[in-house]
Structure 1
C-alpha cells in the first residue's frame, strides 16, 4: 500500500512544502509545452513568493495562517500548471493557450492568497 504523506502531491512525486521542487516541476511542464520559451518570470515569481511567505520581505510578517500557507499555495500552483497542461494536450481544435497565458495562470495561482500576509503594523 502506498501512503501519501501530507507533504506530497497526489502523484507522490513532488514535495509541496518545498517551493524549489514545485518550481522545478512547473518549469518542466512549461518547457514541455513551450520549449522555446523562458522560465525566468516563473522562477522570479517563485522566489518572490518564498521571500514573502517566509517573512523576508521588508515590512511584512511571515505567513501565520494555518491553511492559507505556502504549502497550500504551492499545491494550487502545481494544480494550475497541470490543468493548463491537460487542456493543451486534450483541446482538440479549441484555441491554444500560449506561454504568456501559462505564466499568467501560474503566477496568479502563486499569489492568490498573498492578502493573508500581514504587514508589520498589523497586529491582529
Structure 2
C-alpha cells in the first residue's frame, strides 16, 4: 500500500512513517505545504493520504478538494490536533474517509489507513 504524508511537522511525518513501515506500507511522498502536497500526491498516486488540517501556508482542505477533483479514488485520513466537531464535519463532508485526533487517537492511525485503503479505486 502506498501512503503520502501531508503534515507541516517533520517530527510527526517521521513518527507516522515509522509506524506505517511496521505494516509494510510504503511512504511514497511527504510535504508540508498545500501546493507541494497536491503536486506530490498527483505525481505519486498513493492509495491513502494522511492529511493534517493545518499545513505550512494553508490548509489540508485545499489539498483534499484539489486532489479529489482530479483523483477521486485516493483516500484521505485526516490526522490533526484541530479535531473539533466543525473540522470533523467539514473534512468528512468533503470526502475524507476518517478523521483522527493526534492527541487521543494516534494509536488508531495505522488501522485507519488500512481501512481507508479498502475504499480506494
TM-score w.r.t. the length of structure 1 is: 0.29
Structure number having the greater strand percentage: 2
Structure having the higher Rg:
1
Taking CA–CA contacts closer than 8 Å with sequence separation of 6 or more, which of the two structures ends up with the larger relative contact order?
A: 1
